[in-house]
Amino acid sequence: MANEYTDNATLKLALNSSDSTRDALLTAAIAAASRGIDRNCGRRFYLDGSASARVFNPELRVVAYETGQLLIVDDIGSATGLVVETGDVGGTYSAITDYETWPENALSRGLPITGLVRYSGTWGTTGTARVRVTARWGWPAVPEEVTQAAILQALRLFKRKDSPEGVLGSAEWGAVRVGRIDPDVHELIKRFMLPGF
């Protein structure tokens, strides 16, 4: 699937298997691992196929500087179809062009646009002011760390069927409890996690 961060072929390679009888289990593990990474990071890493509109309240999302105002937005993964409009709750919206994307050169570095800066004017001065942004939401490309985390987590979920009580056993090392959070997965995705407020 387009919104998953790895695929069955990669997992089969990691498992050293060509067996197709468990493809449904692999597909389910990949989907769960991918969405789990999204939830843990507070964002998603796939890019929408087409632009859609989202409305933001600037009162809760603006950082003011002496030189302008930065409006924090959801991850924007492409400048194609990007339209920014200002308006009021229940009112009409007017397109604006006097803004810059932030961080600078984000898309060329494989990062999403996470803010819009206005150096002249404000994003709104009343409690009813709103900013409507039409964009392709997500990341321009899935980061390698996220792909690797999805592989590790999907393998872990796939193998979990062999330890339904959360315990794996071996003649060599006895019973071992399976931890809830894989430390390698956490290490790979921690820099992408959005901070909570």
Q: What is the pLDDT of residues 10-42, one digit of tens each?
A: 999 999 999 889 899 999 999 999 999 999 999
Q: Express as a percent the part of the chain with pLDDT over 70.
A: 88
Q: At what angle do helices 144-159 and 8-15 cross, to 10 degrees?
A: 60
Q: Is residue 82 a contact partner of residue 51, using CB atoms and an 8 Å limit?
A: yes
- Of the candidate ranges 60-64, 84-88, 151-155, 173-177, the one whose mean pLDDT is the lowest: 173-177
Confidence of residue 56 (pLDDT cuts 50, 70, 90): very high
Mean pLDDT of 59-74: 92
Cα–Cα dist 109/160, whole Å: 37
**10 Å Cβ neighbour count for 121?**
13
Give the DSSP letter string of the chain: -TT-SS-HHHHHHHHT----TTHHHHHHHHHHHHHHHHHHHTS--SPPSS-EEEEE-GGGTEEEETTEEEEEEEEEEEEEEEEEEEEETTS-EEEE---EEESTTTGGGT--EEEEEESSS-S-SSTTEEEEEEEEES-SS--HHHHHHHHHHHHHHHHGGG-TTSEEEETTTEEEEPPSS-HHHHHHHGGGPPPP-
Q: Is residue 75 a contact partner of residue 138, using CB atoms and an 8 Å limit?
A: yes
Mean pLDDT of 61-82: 95
Token readout for 86 is: 């200002």
**10 Å Cβ neighbour count for 195?**
5
Mean pLDDT of the chain: 90
Spatial CB neighbours of 28, under 8 Å, sequence gap ≥ 6: none
Q: What is the pLDDT of residues 92-129, one digit of tens each?
A: 999 999 999 999 999 999 999 999 999 988 998 788 99
Token readout for 151 is: 């592989």
Q: Is residue 29 a contact partner of residue 7, using CB atoms and an 8 Å limit?
A: no
Confidence of residue 180 (pLDDT cuts 50, 70, 90): low
The structural domains of the chain, with segments of one domain joined by +, span 8-45+143-192, 52-137
